[in-house]
Amino acid sequence: MDASTAAQRIETLRQQLQQASYEYYVLDAPTLPDAVYDQLYRELQDLEQAHPELITPDSPTQRVGEKAATRFSSVKHNVPLYSLENAFDMAEFASWQERWQRYWQGRDRRAKSESSEPLVEYVCELKIDGNALALTYEHGRLVRGATRGDGVTGEEITQNIKTIRSIPLRLQMDNPPAIVEVRGEAFLSLEVFQQINQEREAAGEPLFANPRNAAAGTLRQLDSRIVAKRKLDFFAYTLHILDHPSDPNPQPPDQQLTLLESPSSNLPTPHSPLPSSQWNCLELLTQLGFKVNPHRQICDSLEAVQDYYDRWSTERQSLPYMTDGVVVKLNSLTLQEQLGFTQKFPRWAIALKYPPEEAPTVVERIGVNVGRTGAVTPLAELRPVQLAGTTVSKATLHNADRIAELDIRVGDTVIVRKAGEIIPEVVRVLPELRPEGTEPFQMPTHCPECEQPLVREEGEAVIRCVNASCPAILRRSVIHWAGRDALDINGLGEKWVQQFVDRGLIQTVADLYDLTVEQLVTIDRMGQKSAEKLVQAIEQSQQQPWARVLYGLGIRHVGSVNAQVLTESFPSVEKLAAADIEAIASVYGIGSEIAQSVHQWFRVPANQHLIDRLRKAGLQLAREVDPNEAISTPKPLAGKTFVVTGTLPTLTRDEAKSLIQTAGGKVTGSVSSKTNYVVVGEDAGSKLKKAEELGITQLSEAELQDLIASSEQG
């Protein structure tokens, strides 16, 4: 390729990669699969290597990462959080080994003369498909958690990180160093990920493509209650001991750590030296209270690394979380320090990634599925194929735009991917294998269930059935109503719902409460005892609280967490139905889109009639109020909004938050013009600066307690 052609291709690749990085790091809405990104990145590297005169400082190959998103406060990492160089086969791994060995041999002669040849010993760890976090502990207490960001600057998300139960709030250590920096990976288990997508589907929200995207979206939630509900997990994989936050160098090996004695843990002697190897580092993290991935191994040769890599290429399919490769690190921390870093990567570690799992198959049929919110989603029905340990016979086609982009047709041979993707998708069509006489697929103009016209709203990619009486919408609505997070009606499965709708026994969820044993025994394979149990389960659901009822109504965008938040502010259906959009949107964590959806739902006459029927059926449409709460005096901080920043003298942030909320106040994670007070402790950062700019009243811990006490007395 001549220089002119190479220059054009390089510019195209840079634009594609920069756009993909922006979508991934800034918007948290990636559209380019990892495998495609890696392929384009490798092509750019090869072209720049062949034409070094075309390398520019703004090339994606010349910097650590892209800038962090701006919805949270930006913080500088105490130690840069570098990404890893990738290898995609053992030949590339061997090349990496040769490179670091050449670099080590070419070091300063004096340093080399004082060192013997390095012992090649690697630590292999599974590469968890999640999100890197940096945790800062000051004197043993967790004071800050940040996302990776661009590797130098990340986003401060401490309150969200504190909801992760596998992250200790305090280290199991006496007399800890001033600063301990712990690095690790936040992730979602496959089971939790599937539950989240089920809830999003029920709320009419787009599904997450994979656990990594779901974890990223969870970590950046403004409401920490949503984060807590999603049950993120965390594996720690390294730590740094610092004199102070600006010190990027670990303490020398002769510094001593004192670990807390614990009868349930196999701790070393009270005074243990800092680890001298990555393996010791992982053991120390375990002793300090962190979860460390158990599937780690020391390897003393390239062959041993390959055995580990090959073994987990198949065994990883049985893990309860996603992995996309193996991280290989030199075990010696001394050798790591001698090798150092390039501009982008550590020289002493590499990610040995597994190729994406793809398989060819044939499209036997293209159909559509009508969801509970009326969304019509096209699906490719495939000739069954083994992929990532499961048999795949269906793959999502997302929407009409994706179908047009693929030009997919019945009879086409397609490539299906599931690498890191829980939901199989069609990656590409192989038109050269297309049989003659195929026709482009056209999305239906009318609902396949009720034959009513479908609607595509402006600005949306989704086509919807808007007929509230559509049998498909009714079936999905009833299944959602009976779900575990809603009314939790045990025994009311999809097969029964299908028959109830087909027989005309139910037209809305309210009809469930009119069903009798005599009616149910006429259903195919429904015996007397089964009918009695189901009627009893339906009756028991009448006692479910108002928050579950609200979630069960299936209002678009209202998940179970949002329903709980709404019912705390609107303790009865009457108050919520009467609220205007502004009042609903003012509830912390709700926002205008949800508020508009809720407001519109209560304006529909059929929905008003449904509420009347549910009330007559005995459903709980109001929140129970504690008698003591009902007769108590008004809470002293009611209507006031607080932000807590920095380290308080005696209270943790959670304790301060609880104190404020008990007194009726609201605690948020960011400072705005609506904030009334900022409670300030030591080492307060950007939140204090913004409070000063906005002229918001600042309180110390003592002043906060005085404010509560004086308000109660007043």
Catalytic residues: 127
Say how far apart CA 536 and CA 550 lie, in whole Å: 22
Which stretches of 82-185 are DSSP H helices? 90-105, 109-113, 158-161
Which stretches of 445-590 are DSSP H helices? 471-481, 494-502, 517-520, 528-540, 546-552, 560-569, 573-578, 581-585
Amino acid at 712: E
Which residues on adjacent β-strands are paired with residue 463? Answer: 376
Residue 695 CB neighbour total at 10 angstroms = 7
For 59, phi then psi, to 5°, come to: -70, 145
Run of H or E including 486: none
Say how far apart CA 398 and CA 378 lie, in whole Å: 6
Q: Strand locations in 588-673, DSSP E?
A: 641-645, 666-667
Say how far apart CA 162 and CA 181 lie, in whole Å: 15
Structure token digits, residue 156: 């401060």
Beta strand 179-187 pairing with 233-242? antiparallel
Say how far apart CA 348 and CA 331 lie, in whole Å: 9
Residue of 423, 393, 425 whose CA lies nearest to 408: 425
Length of the chain: 714
For 554, phi then psi, to 5°, come to: 75, 30
454 by DSSP, 3-state: which? Answer: strand
Say how far apart CA 285 and CA 235 lie, in whole Å: 10
Run of H or E including 357: none
- Is residue 378 classed exposed, middle or buried when 0-12, 13-18 and 19+ CB atoms within 10 A define those classes? buried
Spell out the residues 6+ positions from residue 570 whose beta carbon is closer than 8 angstroms to its own: 576, 579, 584
Region for 289 from its dihedrals, namely left if φ exceeds 0, alpha if ψ lies in -120 to 50, beta otherwise: left
* Cα 594 versus chain centre, distance: 20
**In the 8-state DSSP scheme, what is residue 431?**
G
Spell out the residues 6+ positions from residue 542 whose beta carbon is closer than 8 angstroms to its own: 513, 617, 618, 619, 620
Region for 189 from its dihedrals, namely left if φ exceeds 0, alpha if ψ lies in -120 to 50, beta otherwise: beta
